[in-house]
Structures are given as structure tokens and as C-alpha cells.
Amino acid sequence: MIILGLDPSLSSTGWGVIRSEGSRLSHVAHGQVKTAATTPMPERLACLQAELAQVIARYRPDRAAAEEIFLNKNPQSTLKLAQARGAVLAACGAAYDGMGLTVREHAARAVKKSVVGTGAAEKRQVQAMLKVLLPGVKVVGADAADALAVAIADAHLG
């Protein structure tokens, strides 16, 4: 099974693709989709959707997994995150000639617990476990690392 992990963000959405065969996991690809704060919002959202559509078309995942949205202290930040997440989910929904790609959602604490063993794990602990679970992978960016962790958690949570 090919799983696409997604860590939505307006400035840098992380994505990671893994292969899950029983309890065996392997790295396929990962990256980040970045948008500039100076670009108008509609263009940023269109960029996220288009670039993730390309990732989906290239790797043809069996399913996707995204981190659930969390409420930020700043309502504007929460709104921007929700908009970015909408563009990411729209790319999944439009995949495969409109048939859609199933997206499962996982809370950040559940992802950390699945990957590290504790829901209170720090980012560096998650990144260290990625090296153990996906030997040889050289992760480019924290957002891509988070996306790979989401994909791994989805594989573990079945």
C-alpha cells in the first residue's frame, strides 16, 4: 500500500510518500510545497492544490493521511491554516478523474504517539525516529518530516 502523508500549511505544506507492506515500511519520496507571503491568497491556494495534484498523479497513493487542524491562539493563523488544508484536501478529492483519494485524519498527539511512543514527543524526537523507521532517508525540511510521520502513523493505525 502506498500512503501519502500531508502536513498542511500555507507557507510550507509538507508531503511524504511511504510504502507499507505488512509491518515493513519504506520511503518513496517527500518534499515541501512553499508559497510566498507576498503572493495573493487565491494564488497561494491554487499553487498548493496544483503541486499536490502533481505529487498524487506521480506516486498514485492508495490513500492519504493528514494531520487534524488545531486551534491556534491567533484566529487569523487558524483561518489561514484551514484554507491551506482545504486546498490540500481539494487536491485529494479531485484525484483519479474525480473519483477522489481517501483521506484519513489523525491528531498530532496520535501521530507522535504512533511514531515515538508518546503523544508529548518533541519534533526532534519524531525526526530521530524517522531515521530508525525509514533507514537511509535524508529528510529535507521539518514540514516534510511531519508529513512522513503522518504517513507512518496512518500505516500503524491501519
Binding site residue list: 7, 67, 143
CA 75 vs CA 11, 110, 124: distances in Å: 16, 24, 27
Binding site residue list for Mg(2+): 7, 67, 143
Q: What range does the domain containing 118 cover?
A: 2-157
CB 147 within 8 A of CB 14: yes
Among candidate residues 51, 143, 146, 154, the one labeled active-site is: 143
Higher model confidence: residue 158 or residue 66?
A: 66
Q: Is 7 one of the annotated active-site residues of the chain? A: yes
Instruction: Give the confidence band of 71 by pLDDT, cuts at 50, 70, 90.
Output: low
Q: How far is Cα 108 from Cα 98, in angstroms, rounded to an integer? A: 29
pLDDT digits (tens, 9 = 90+) for 81-108: 899 999 999 999 999 777 789 999 999 9
CB 131 within 8 A of CB 124: no
Q: Is 68 one of the annotated active-site residues of the chain? A: no
Instruction: Give the confidence band of 22 by pLDDT, cuts at 50, 70, 90.
Output: confident
Q: Is 67 one of the annotated active-site residues of the chain? A: yes
Count of domains observed in the chain: 1
